Amino acid sequence: MHFYPGRLWLDTDGNPIQAHGGGILYDKATETYYWYGENKDGPTYQAHKNGAARVDIIGVSCYSSKDLWAWTNEGIVLSGDESNVTHDLYKSNVLERPKVIYNDKTSKYVMWMHIDDTNYTKASVGVAVSDSATGPFTYLYSMRPHGFDSRDMTIFKDDDGKAYLIYSSEENSELHVGLLTDNYLDLTREMKRVLVKKHREAPAVFKYEGTYYMITSGCSGWAPIRRWPMRPCRSWPVGDTGESLRGREQDLQAHDVLLSEYFRAAASWLAGLIHIHGGSMESFGVEGFEGMPDPSLSSGAATMYY
C-alpha cells in the first residue's frame, strides 16, 4: 500500500480518508495509531456573501492503523448536532483541528478542538472525553482559554504527563501556551505568551532528543507562505529564539499534524520533519529549504522507512 502526495489517500475500504485538520495518537495499550480529524464529506457552500466556502459540521472521524499506511475507518467518534441551534456542534457552526491525548491517571481519552460560529467570532476551544480511543466522545463544553480569543490550536503532552494547550490569540498576533489540569479537562491559571507580535498561527509542537520544537505559519490565510519559524528550546514553554525555514514561492499553507508517543512529527501539508520510533527521518515535498539541520532533508516526495 502506498501514499502519494497530491493524490487522494484511501482507507482500507477504498474511500478517501476524511480526517482533515487532525492529529495522530499512538495508543500504547493497543499498539495502534489513531488518526482523528474533521469529516468533510458533505456539500461545500458559501454561508454568506463575504464568507469563506465551508462544509457543515458532520463530526470528527477516527481511523486506526498498525503501520501508518493502511487506515481503517472507525467511524465518527464525535458527531455534529443537526437540530439544536444553541449547541456548539450545531451543523452551521465550526469545529476544527481536533486533537486527542490519553490521560494515564484517569484512563480517559481527551479531545480538544477549535470551536467557532459561522462568522468566526466565538473564537473558543471545546473539550470532549471518552473511555475508548474509538469513542464515542462526550462533548463537555467550550470556553475562551484564560479569557482570550483562540483560533488555530494544538495540544502537546510532555514526557512527564503534563499537557499544554497552544493557541493563536490576541487576533492572531501571538501564541499562548497554557498548562492543562491533571485530568486534561480544563486549564490551570498558568499561561505564557510566546512569539508576541509575530502574527503566527497553525502551531505544531514536538520533542526530539530532549529539545522542544515549535513550527508555526504566518497569518496569510490561504495565500502562499514563504517561512515557518522553527523554535528549538531546551525548556518548555518555548521562548522566542530559534531559526526560520524558508521555502520558494509555493503554496506553503501550514497545517499541523502532531503525532504523539513513539511517532512524533510536526508537519504541514507540504513540509515537515518526521521521526519514527526505530526508523529514520525524511522531509515532505518542499523544494529549496534553507537552514535545514541536515542537508539530506531537502526536496522530494514524502518517504518513510521503518
Q: Between 242 and 41, whose confidence is greater? A: 41
| Cα dihedral value 188, 192, 195, 199, nearest 10 | 40
The pLDDT, as a whole number, for residue 225 is 65
How large is the average pLDDT for residues 200-228?
A: 80
Give the pLDDT score at 229: 52
- Using the predicted structure, report yes or no on whether residue 126 has a pLDDT greater than 80: yes
- Report the share of the chain in percent with pLDDT over 90: 57
What band does 269 get if pLDDT is binned at 50, 70 and 90?
very low
Q: How far is the C-alpha of 131 from the C-alpha of 109, rounded, in Å?
A: 6
Q: How many CB atoms lie within 10 A of CB 301?
A: 12
- Any idea which residue has 528549538 for its cell? 232
Q: Flag whether pLDDT at 80 surpasses 60.
A: yes
Start and end residues for every CATH 2.115.10.20 domain found in the chain: 8-143
pLDDT at 300 > cutoff 60: no
- Domain 8-143 CATH (choose: 3.50.50.60, 3.40.50.300, 3.30.1490.20, 2.115.10.20): 2.115.10.20
Buried b (16+ CB within 10 A) or exposed e, 80-116: bbeeeeeebbbbebbbbbbbbbbbeeeebbbbbbbbb
Greatest alpha-carbon span in the chain: 54
